[in-house]
Structures are given as C-alpha cells and as structure tokens.
A and B are shown apart, each in its own frame.
Chain A
Amino acid sequence: MSGLLMPTPDAETMRRRDEIVAGLRAIVPGEGVVDAVNEMRAFESDGLTAYRQLPLVVVLPETVGQVSRILKFCNERNIRVVPRGSGTSLSGGALPLEDAVLLVMSRFNRILEINFPNRVVVAQPGVTNLGISTAVEPEGFYYAPDPSSQIACSIGGNVAENSGGVHCLKYGLTANNVLGIEMVLMDGEVVRLGGRHLDSEGYDLLGVMTGSEGLLGVVTEVTVRILKKPETARALLIGFPSSEQGGQCVADIIGAGIIPGGMEMMDRPAIHAAEDFVHAGYPLECEALLIVELDGPGVEVDHLIDLVEAIAHKNGSTTCNISTSEAERLNFWAGRKAAFPAVGRISPDYYCMDGTIPRKELPRVLAGMRTMSEKYGLRVANVFHAGDGNLHPLILYDANVPGELQKAEDFGADILRLCVEVGGVLTGEHGVGVEKRDLMPEMFNEIDLDQQMRVKCAFDPNHLLNPGKVFPQLRRCAELGRMHISGGKLPFPNIPRF
C-alpha cells in the first residue's frame, strides 16, 4: 500500500473498546452491532479496494432515534464515526478507521412515500439508486441521476457524494434532483432541510450537505424529484480519425443548441478493450468513438438525429450508425457500459481516475496522458463523459509487480494536476475521499481550504465525523476561529468613497 497517512488512532478509545461495544449494544440490540473480526472483514474496504482497514466496531441502526443516540454517545465520549451506505465509493469515502465506529445505514432500506402529483419519492438512505427508479417505473417515471453503480449504491451515499452518471448534462447531478433530507448532526440533533417544496428558507445547507462526503452529518431520509420517462431515445455511434475531430463535434453539437441526454467518448484503447469483450460492433480503426443519445418525443429526436449526423459529417466522421431499434440503442451502450470490466480483462488491475476539464482542452489532456503513459511505462484507456468534460482515464497496472501501484497512483496524480492546470478540477463525480485528499492544495490555497473547514466546524466542531477524508490536514476549529487583522486599523482604504 502506498503511503496514505490516516489520523493517529486514539489510544484511549482503543483501550475502551469493550465499553464502547456494550454502549452501542444498549442502543442497537441484537445483531445490529458487529464486533467479531471475521464478520467485520466485509466492511474493511469500499470501492477503492487498494485500501483496507478494520473498524473499531460496526453498528447497523434501524431507526433515526438510534442514529441520534449513537452519534450523541460517540460525541460525548470523543469517539470517531465513519458513516457508510452501500460501500461503493471509488475514492475511499467509507474507508474505516481503526479507532472509529463504522455506522452502516443499509438497514434503512424502505421507500416511505411515492407521490406522483408532486413528483417526489421519499426514501430511507439505504434504498438503492435503481430501487427508486424501479419503484416508480410502472407509472412511467424514473429518477434521473444514474451512477454506473446504481444497482448497488444507496441514495444516502449519492447525497454524500453528489453522484452523477451519464445523463448529468441534461438532467443534472444529485444536488439538482434532491429536494430535501433529514439528517442527524454529530451531537445527535435531528434536522430537516427542504422537503416537498423548492428552495430554502435560509442558507442552502442542502446544497452544502450534498457532496460533503459524510463529514457534516448522517442522512436518515431523502426526498428526490422523479421525472416522466422520455417518449423515445435513440443513439448515434460515430467514429472519428482523431480525438480533436471528436471533440470539435461535441462542441458543435452544443453550439447548435442541442443538449443530448447522454454524450460519451472513448479512445482507441478503450474501444478495442470494449469491442473484444462485448462485440458491440464498434469500429476498430477510429481514434475516437462518440455515442450521442437524444431523448424526448419521437418528432424531436428524429429532427435532432438529422442535425447531429450533419454535424458529425462536417467534422470528418468516418462512421456514423444510427439506432433504429431499442435493441440497437442498448447495443451501442453495451460496450461503453462494460468499459471498466473490459479493461479489467486486459490488465490484472486498473486504477480509475475522475478529473473534469473544459471540453476544448481534451486534445491537450489526451496528448499529455500519452506522454505520461510513456514516462511511467503504464498503459491508459480513456472513457469520457464528453458532454460535461468528465474524464475517466483507466490506468492499467499489476499490483503483484512491486512498485506498480505506486507508479499508477503517481501517474493518476499527474493526470489530475494536468486537469487543474487546464482549468478543470480533481474530481467530477467520485469524490475526494482519501484518494485525492492530498491533492486538494493543487486546486485550493490555504485560505480556500480554511473556509471549507469552517463549514465543517459549524457542523462538527470536534472533527469526529469521517476524519482523514477530503482535507489534507484538518485544522482545529479554535485555531480557525481566531481573527487575524494584520496591519491593525486601516482607516483610509484606497478606494472611492461617497
């Protein structure tokens, strides 16, 4: 394992483990407290499997009251808590800590209300993302954000990570589709943000909570907006001789006022890996493959398909297939959806990155990656949410070769630095977690990070909730609270006064 520094375990907490387990058992009876090592193994990692750690103890509450009492119990005894949903985080957001209680929300698995007139579903946080869509499917509705882990990932985890998916460009991220939550603060207080109505009466704490990676509070209920399914969806599969041409095609589609339901790009290594795996009929001679999906009424989709086809042709496309049936549309997607396991077949291990860049910088970033690939001696395949500039480079390595994991991580860090350099960001949808924590200073200076930590201080002043994630170094709240007015009084600032 590479040199990831986590907060030093608190010896006092470790020593009191039996007492803590007993305390938790008094709150959650029966099988809701797991303290046997062999049973805790199931929880030692999340989707970022390079890192493993057994927690102090695992607790699986069933009621909001229990969550509140657990957090209050831990807060009063200065015990750290790591919240976990389905454990599909790709950035180590749910990585346990040796001295922390792992608070698993998977028993909160019920849909509480389906309300079609108001187009909302109220669900407990352990309900899966897909579970919400499935529940409203008979009436022709769905929940729009669809991260690729949607079969397994929980809606509470989606809130914590502000999850995306391939339809974000048109339908938004989790933050744009959640109307309300109930959450428990570290001191045990239960608060509700939003609800079935829109916008907030005060500060947009719902906006802050969404994507806060389990450091601010534990979500116990989620209200989401559901949408009516589009009447039809059709896709184009377009091949280009260069990524520049593919990128320009994407820009021209958007420039023409078209916002596709999905717009995905793959580079040559990813195309080949996917085609070898699922035989979707992808053209193998092209350098960039674009999938453009248009959804809406049939008359609109047909109109836009013609426009996109013309734009593709103008940009030098070498192939352009248009789906004429639902089976064909799904076949176009089959390769893209299987891209990760496909890459898994051609390499013992792969490391998935998640930077976002301004779309126009794509050729520069791809060229940079080719140079880095030579430098590190590791292959890289790219899948790319082309519509919103979110890159998923897959770095191929072999964990059994000493030093290769470290090389892959260094390679990944270099890619993310390049993303920031061209005006992009470290993570588009996977979160900072432990994975990109130490890269935060690439994007934010100390003052920027201080403001984010001050939000943390307002919610959890003792830094007990999910420590070691997101922030390279958490400064003490008392220290952050000090005012520094350097230079003393400034009675005549040099700006116009009236």
Chain B
Amino acid sequence: MTTFMPFSQADVLDAVIWALSEDAPLEIFGHGSRRGIGRPMQCEHALDLSGLSGVTLYEPEELVLSAKAGTPLIDIERLLARHRQEMAFEPMNCTRLFGGTATQTDKTGTIGGALATNLAGPRRIKAGAVRDHVLGISAVSGRGELFKSGGRVVKNVTGYDLSKLMAGSWGTLAVVTDITVKVLPAAEMQTTLAIRGLSDEHAVAAMALALGSSAEVSAAAHLPYGVTQRVASDMRGDEAATLLRVEGFGPSVAYRIETLKRLLENAGPMAEIGAQFSKPLWRDIRDCEPFADGTERPVWRVSMAPSEAHRMVLALRMETGADAYYDWQGGLVWLRMEAEPEAETLRRLIAEFGGGHATLMRSSPAWRAAIPVFEPQPAPLAALAARLKNEFDPKGILNPGRMVSGAPSAKVGETEEERSEP
C-alpha cells in the first residue's frame, strides 16, 4: 500500500499518470471523514490530498473564495466568519456519524470532500447545495489531464458546467485540486421557532405552510418523539419538535417570527429558540447527531418530495423497524434501521410514494458491498453515467467501484491506447 501525499497540482498529475501507467487504482481522500460512505474499494494505493491546503484567493466584497482541495472546512469557516460571511450551503461534518468525538476536530472534512460528496445542510432548501455555489475548479482527470472549468464569477454560461459535474461525483471522474466557491454574508441574527407535539403529518403540513409564506424560512426540520433530546438545544421534554429557522437582519427576523406565529397559531404550543441554542441545534440536525450512537447500525439519507416522505416512512414502519427525523421541509429523511438496511423495501416504497433517492450513509462494509449504497438508476440513465465515467476515467483508476459496482475499467475495445516510450 502506497499513499501519495501531493503538495501541488503537479504532484497530483504525477501520481495519476503513475497510477495510469501501472494500472494501479487510487483511493482519493482528504481528511477521510467520509471514507465510510460508498461501496468498499479494493485500492492498493491512495492519494491523500490533505497536504494540498490553503486559501488562495478571498475577496469578501466580490463574494468569492478559492482554496486548494485539501483545505479544512473549519479553516475556511473561521476565515469567512472574521468577515461575517459563510458558505451558505452548510457543508455536513460527517465525523460524528462515524463515531468521532468532539475532541477530534483536526480532521473534520475538507472543501474537496464537501464538493465531491455534495452533502449540504439545512439551508439547502433556501440557498442550494454545494453544487449551487461552486463557481470553478481545476482537476486532473482519470486520463492524467489537468483541466479547468468555470471561473470566479457568479454569472457564467461559458461552456459546460464541469464544476457541477464534480459535485457529488465522489472522486470517480477526476481529482479536483482547486475549488472556487461563491460565499455570502452571514446573517446578522437567527431565531428558531419550535412547535411541539405535532405528528409527522401535521408537522409536514405546518412546514409547507411556513415555506409557502413570505417569512423566508431558511431551515425547516421535524424531530419526532424521542429524537428531540438527542440534539443540543434548550428544549425540554421528549415530545416532537417542528423547527423553523429565520435568519437575517434583526428587525426583519423579529417581524418574520411574528408572521410565522400568526400563521401557525393553531398548530400547537410554540417557543422561540435564540441564536445561542439555535446554532448548535441546526449543526446537530445537519450532522445527523441523533443517530451518532457509536454503532454501525444502518443509517439512510433519503431525498423525496417534502409532502411524500413521511408517508413513505409510515409505510416502511409497517414492514420494519426504523427511527426517523426530517430536514428540508420534510423532504430529507434520516433513517436509522433497527437491524438490516432493508434496501429493497425502502427503495420500493420510495418509488411507490413518488420517487426520490436513498443513500446508505452508514453501515458495515459487508452490507455496503452487498447492496447498492447509492440509488440504482434506470438502465438508460445508468448507461449514460457509465459512458461519462468512461470518458473521464477509462481505466477506472479513480475511486473504482465507490458509486457503482462493476468492472473498473472501460469495456474492451472502447478505448484505444497509445504509449510512447521515452
């Protein structure tokens, strides 16, 4: 096992060309905080990007920041906070889900990992995911070619948006070395309105009403009975909590909270949660803290239409045991299964209730090898994705098999190879 530790773009290029010439697949990671997600890989060698670190450009008034892929997210967040800005997509910190403790704060994720996995937090419903904030990238493809896409400006339709293609590609198309993102002003203030004791169904209706108002709710989650006490907050009691976050300028936040209270006055008992508790509360919802139980019990992340997800969960519970909580107005379900992942049951029900996708975020390697971690695609779409993979990484040397099983390299005869000896 060789682990390459590049410190420059040129180093990455060297390593990929070496891997190509040796037919030696590489596992690509930064901090490795998300290594437990995806199908287990049989890579003899690894490419550790954590040495490729540093913010290379930050112009607060232009709302733009560029960093090398291995730059720790916390470093970027601290720098932005000094200028009262933030990455509006609230990148997930996966360490807690995989048993990390609060003291292990040095390897909590990189900007490259955030892009490769596209795991956005609660503000996704208002501000978009990582894919909506990436403006440009440089990367080395599985062909050993260094390329760039996009730029440093928000409004840009020049050529195909390969930056978005990298978002959520889990390192299977190219090794991204540099990333430029749009940053935004951080809200001056935030308050969360908690409505207690609602059923899933009533909670979803309340959240839809809130999101359909002009209150500009920036996050909407529902923690069913028993989940409430597993997140940091000043909420008392076990009963369910439906949470609506409002952010912005002080007077505006106060006004919009009042608007929501009027709108939902008959929904149930309400309490306001101030910024001091609201911030850690939403961090815990983002990071799946309620299911960070130190076990390997299967955890799913399911994305569906907000109105349908809780109905799917109800049907699922008729067939198997599962804990659930909801983010994204109810459209994002975090599920912890009692025993086995029950992938087929879950995916059948997702399709039955209008479609969406489920990703197995935590499970034993055996299960991750046995069932599709990512939602299987219909044949024509799967074939299209395979052709794309083949274009960027024909020999299957970048994270082979992490997203889909199957032969790592191109179909025989599809790729002509030329080798010029020195």
Contact = CB atoms under 8 A, between A and B. Distances in A.
B146 A498 contact: no
Interface string B124-148: 1100110110000000010111111
Given A207-B165, A296-B252, A117 B419 contact: no
Interface string B263-277: 000000000000000
A490 B21 contact: yes
Contact of A257 (B11, B18, B185, B390): B185
B159 A444 contact: yes
Interface string A361-385: 0000000000000000000000001
Given A356-B156, A488-B420, A297 B259 contact: yes
B36 interface: no
Interface in A138-179: 140-141, 161-162, 164, 168-169, 172-173, 175-176
B314 interface: no
B185 A258 contact: yes
A457 B415 CA distance: 13
Interface in B152-201: 152-162, 164-165, 167-169, 173, 184-186, 188
A204 B167 contact: yes
Interface string B365-390: 00000000011011011101101101
A262 to B, nearest CB: 13
B421 A488 contact: yes
A198 B162 contact: no
Interface residues of A, number: 111
Interface in B213-248: 213-214, 216, 248
Interface stretch (B301-309, B317-325, B338-346): B301-309
Interface string A19-62: 00000000000000000000000000000000000000000000
Interface string A476-498: 00101111111111110111111
Nearest to A451: B147
A493 B4 contact: yes
A144 B188 CA distance: 24
A443 B415 CA distance: 29
Interface string A235-263: 00000000000000001101101110000
B385 to A, nearest CB: 5
A356 B216 contact: no
B157 A427 contact: yes
Contacts of B251: 299-300, 303
A211 B157 contact: yes
B62 interface: yes
Contacts of B336: none
Contact of B162 (A201, A455, A482): A455
Interface stretch (A9-17, A224-232, A313-321): A224-232
Interface stretch (A127-135, A184-192, A393-401, A407-415): A184-192
A254 B83 CA distance: 12
Nearest to B14: A493
